[in-house]
Amino acid sequence: MSFSDSSGGQTSDSSMAPLAARAYLGVGSSLSPEENILRALTALSGFPGIEVTRTSNFYRTPPLPAPGASPVTVANDPDFLNGVFEIRTELSPETLTLALAEVENATGRVRAANKYAPRSLDLDLLVYLPAGRSSTEGPYPVHRDITTRSWVALPLFELAPDLLLPPHDTPLAQVASTFTDPGGTPDVLFTKRLLAALPQPNNPFFP
C-alpha cells in the first residue's frame, strides 16, 4: 500500500494506510488513571504515524463484575476513568493495534485471565476510517462495545456524531440515544488537563 508524503512522492510500506486515516480509540484506566492516561496521550502523540487530534469528555465509571459474578466481588476495586481519543494515522489497523498494545505495556499493563480486573491502561481501536469516509463499511474494525457500553458510545458520539455503523449504516446517534447516561460521572477537571496536554488542542466542547 502506498501513500503520498509531504514532498509529493510515493512511499510503499505494507504497515501504512493512506495518509490521514481517522480512528477513534477507547481509553480507560483504573490504576493511577490520571497518570496513565496522560502517559498514553504523550506516548501516542510521539509515536511515528500517529497524531492525537481531539479528546472526548472523560467519565469515572464503577467497575463491572465478571459475567455471573456478584457485584460484591468488585466492591473494593477502584473506579475506571473512561473516554475516547480521536487520532489521525498513517498506520494500518493491524499495525495501529500493535502500537496500542506497546503503549499499554509501557504502563505496566498485566493481561490477567479476568478481563474485568483493575488495570493500568486499556487502549481499544473502536473505529478506523480511511480519509474522507464517514461510514465504517468495509474491512475495517468496529468494536462491539460501541453498542453495549454507554461510556464508549456516548464519548464517541461527542467526537463523531455523524458516524455510520455496519452492517446497515446505522447512525451512531441512534445507538447513543439508547443510553440514558454515560454510566458514570464526568471528570471535567481531568478532561481539561488532557486538553491542555494535546499537542494541538482542537476540541469543540471546551474553550
Query: Which entry of 22, 54, 60, 109 is annotated as an active-site residue?
Result: 109
Comparing 8-17, 27-36, 61-70, 89-98, which segment has the lowest mean pLDDT? 8-17
* Catalytic residue list contains 162: no
3-state secondary structure the chain: CEEECCCCCEEECCCEEEEEEEEEEEEEECCCHHHHHHHHHHHHHCCCCEEEEEECCCEEECCCCCCCCCHHHHCCCCCEEEEEEEEEEEECHHHHHHHHHHHHHHCCCCCCCCCCCCCCCEEEEEEEECCCCCECCCCCCECHHHHCCHHHHHHHHHHCCCCEECCCCEEHHHHHCCCCCCCCEECHHHHHHHHHHCCCCCCCCCC
- 142 vs 139: CA distance, rounded Å: 9
Q: Where are the domains of the chain?
A: 13-64+73-197
Please tell me which residue in 22, 54, 60, 122 is annotated as part of the active site. 122
User: How far is the CA of 133 from the CAs of 92, 164, 203, in angstroms?
Assistant: 15, 10, 20
**pLDDT averaged over every residue in the chain:** 80
Instruction: State residue 138's pLDDT score.
Output: 53
CA dist., res. 195 & res. 55, Å (int): 7
Let me know if 122 is a catalytic residue: yes
Instruction: Look at 10-24, 26-40, 91-105, 144-158 and tell me which has the smallest mean pLDDT.
Output: 10-24
So what's the pLDDT on residue 133?
63
- This prediction has a pTM of 0.82
Cell 512522492 found at? 9
Higher pLDDT, 178 or 182: 178
Indicate if 109 belongs to the active site: yes
pLDDT exceeds 50 at position 193: yes
Active-site residue (options: 22, 54, 60, 119): 119
**CB neighbours of residue 161 within 10 Å:** 11
User: Please, which residues have CB within 8 angstroms of residue 161's CB and are 6 or more apart in sequence?
Assistant: 172, 173
Q: Find where cell 446517534 sits.
A: 173
The pLDDT of residue 199:
77
Where residue 73 falls among pLDDT bands split at 50, 70, 90? Answer: low
The class that CATH gives domain 13-64+73-197 is alpha beta
- What pLDDT does 32 receive? 94
Which candidate in 22, 54, 60, 124 is catalytic?
124
pLDDT at 3: 26
**How far is 119 from 108, CA to CA, in rounded Å?**
9
pLDDT tens digits, 82-130 = 999 999 999 989 999 999 999 999 998 877 656 767 889 999 999 998 8
Q: Give pLDDT, residue 122.
A: 93
